[in-house]
Chain A
Amino acid sequence: MAASGVASPTRTEVLQLYRSLLRVARQFCDYNIREYTKRRTIDAFRDNKNLTDPSQLSAAFSDGKAQLEVAKRQAVVYSLYAPKVKSIMDIRPS
């Protein structure tokens, strides 16, 4: 994806993307995928916290948006085939 000519994302846009990813993570009915999506989002945003180069920023932002689309679709697919019984980690409090 060519990043030239695309403006760097603003702080609000980045925060919106972050919140959307975490929101979609909550929608997964599979315990492992849900936790992974949450954790990976937090770690990825933390790792890219100090990026300053605008082309890198736009690349990371578009990558994040693409991942958000994938996650939204997959949340629907997983819910269509959700097993009736949840993972044991979701049932009993440890």
Chain B
Amino acid sequence: MALKLLRQTLIKTKQTTLLRRFSTAAAVASPTEYEDTEGIIMKGVKIAGRPLYLDMQATSPVDPRVLDSMLPFYLSRYGNPHSRTHLYGWESETAVETARAQVAELIGASPREIVFTSGATESNNISVKGVMRFYKDKKRHVITTQTEHKCVLDSCRHLQQEGFEVTYLPVGSDGLIDLDKLRKEIRPDTGLVSVMAVNNEIGVIQPVEEIGRICKEFNVPFHTDAAQALGKIKVDVNKWNVSLMSLSGHKIYGPKGVGALYMRRRPRIRVEPQMNGGGQERGIRSGTVPTPLVVGMGAACELAMKEMEYDERRIKGLQERLLNGIREKIDGVVVNGSMERRYVGNLNLSFAYVEGESLLMGLKDVAVSSGSACTSASLEPSYVLRALGVDEDMAHTSIRFGIGRFTTEEEIDRAVDLTVKQVEKLREMSPLYEMVKEGIDIKQIQWAQH
């Protein structure tokens, strides 16, 4: 009897712990300040458990198989891959080269064309600023789109301050650029065309093959930010005719803090390095290559190649389930961006007559985002939605659902229930919605000024 009590008190958790009572292994990690057994209190909000994660475009959970490949390099194989004189260096270097080959295989390139960086933002910086600064005597013009990632737009703004000219191509209401406009904007001194493959906010897939063909015709280097596309759609650097491609590790179930840059060798594209130092990574990006992160990215790429078809089939079904589930119960739901040319795991919805911030506050059990993580600090509505021509009020109320490899049907159903409930509650309280139900056209109202 006493033995049973002793056993119960010593074993803190139930069947989830696999360590036996007198094992010398470390105990379970201590809880953080905001968690206790009843729930989580953070930022004044109390929730019973960790929210269900539907924000795959911001980042993705690390796949356990990827973690398994990374751990030995934190434990015993901790050498610097640039150490040439001992086993630690040799084994690290072998691991880095294996990872390089894995990344290259996923995009149809040769391992010699891959440079590891700290992420897609760094790769974008090297591509945009590095290319233009290298060819600054002959080429003074850059073409990009209005819906690019902030790092590309900010790099272009920097170039403008240095005296280069930048054209920001507009997009249609479906999020796609007009190829004729692109053709017209190309000049003899255009040094780079930068168009992202899959948009992180709305999920539309740009016509990269056609853009590549136009760039080849005019002999202009083509850079694409494939951070969201890698491992999700078929990426082939030769079919797309890209000269430079930015890749990110943490969007494909790999670790954060690592990315890669593809640089074509035939015809060779040259960049001015942004990180100077010991000449690692062929002088393009100096600095110790982080072996565990790079190995993780390689493993993630290999997994992505094996699982791409299975994941896509599944995620497509989940997306339909989500959209149909919401549309069945409420109206006034608009999908932002083209439905046909879209990556299936990204669903950006706007709910009419509902305020965005309050909707997000009510959905505290679901981890979603409105706009993109990198612009969520500012109060203004997302520039991507503004470029699509979405009205201010609809842009404020947009929510981005990100579905991934680990999302389950139950999570989708729960998200649908919670969203519908919250939207109905907010609409109930909205006087604007009452007026719409009575048939009044909101846009025609002359608001009296007090």
Question: Could you tell me which A residues sit within 8 Å of B by CB distance?
Answer: 27, 29, 32-33, 35-36, 39-40, 43, 67, 70-71, 73-92, 94
Say which residue of B15, B37, B67, B365 sits within 8 Å of A84 (CB atoms): B37
Residue contact B49 to A90, C-beta cutoff 8 Å:
yes
Cβ-based interface call for B48 (8 A): yes
Residue contact A71 to B50, C-beta cutoff 8 Å:
no
Closest partner residue, chain A, to B50 (CB atom) = A87
Question: Which residues on the A side are within 8 Å of B310 (C-beta)?
Answer: 40, 43
Residue contact B53 to A85, C-beta cutoff 8 Å:
no
Closest partner residue, chain A, to B406 (CB atom) = A32
Residue contact B37 to A85, C-beta cutoff 8 Å:
yes
Q: List 17 A-B contacts (CB under 8 A).
A: A70-B64, A71-B64, A73-B68, A74-B68, A76-B19, A77-B64, A79-B16, A80-B19, A80-B25, A82-B28, A84-B37, A85-B39, A85-B48, A85-B49, A89-B52, A89-B410, A89-B411
- Are A36 and B50 CB-contacts (below 8 A) given A74-B68, A88-B365? no
Cβ-based interface call for B327 (8 A): no
- Are A80 and B29 CB-contacts (below 8 A) given A70-B68, A89-B414? yes
Residue contact A74 to B67, C-beta cutoff 8 Å:
yes
Q: A33-B406, A94-B417 are in contact. List 5 more A-B contacts (CB 8 A).
A: A78-B64, A79-B16, A86-B50, A87-B50, A94-B414
Nearest Cβ distance between residue A85 and chain B, in whole angstroms? 5
Nearest Cβ distance between residue A29 and chain B, in whole angstroms? 4
Question: Could you tell me which B residues sit within 8 Å of A by CB distance?
Answer: 13, 15-19, 25-26, 28-29, 31-32, 35-37, 39-40, 47-53, 61, 64-65, 67-68, 71, 310, 365, 405-408, 410-411, 413-414, 417
Say which residue of B16, B25, B31 sits within 8 Å of A27 (CB atoms): B16
When A and B form their complex, what is the total count of cross-chain residue pairs whose Cβ atoms lie within 8 Å?
95
Nearest Cβ distance between residue B200 and chain A, in whole angstroms? 21
Residue contact B35 to A85, C-beta cutoff 8 Å:
yes
Closest partner residue, chain B, to A71 (CB atom) = B64
Residue contact B64 to A35, C-beta cutoff 8 Å:
no
Say which residue of B25, B32, B48 sits within 8 Å of A92 (CB atoms): B48
Question: Which residues on the A side are within 8 Å of B13 (C-beta)?
Answer: 82
The 7 nearest A-B residue pairs measured at CB = A88-B49, A74-B64, A32-B406, A84-B31, A29-B16, A91-B49, A70-B68
Task: Report which residue of B32, B50, B414 has the largest number of chain A beta carbons within 10 angstroms of its beta carbon.
Answer: B50
Residue contact B17 to A85, C-beta cutoff 8 Å:
no
CA distance A90 to B31 in the complex (A): 18
CA distance A9 to B52 in the complex (A): 39
Residue contact B52 to A79, C-beta cutoff 8 Å:
no
Residue contact B51 to A88, C-beta cutoff 8 Å:
yes
Question: Which residues on the B side are within 8 Å of A32 (C-beta)?
Answer: 53, 61, 406-408
Residue contact B405 to A76, C-beta cutoff 8 Å:
no
- Are A83 and B50 CB-contacts (below 8 A) given A36-B405, A75-B18? yes
Residue contact A83 to B408, C-beta cutoff 8 Å:
no
Residue contact B40 to A94, C-beta cutoff 8 Å:
no
Closest partner residue, chain A, to B48 (CB atom) = A91
Question: Which residues on the B side are within 8 Å of A36 (C-beta)?
Answer: 405-406
Question: Which residues on the B side are within 8 Å of A89 (C-beta)?
Answer: 49, 52, 408, 410-411, 414
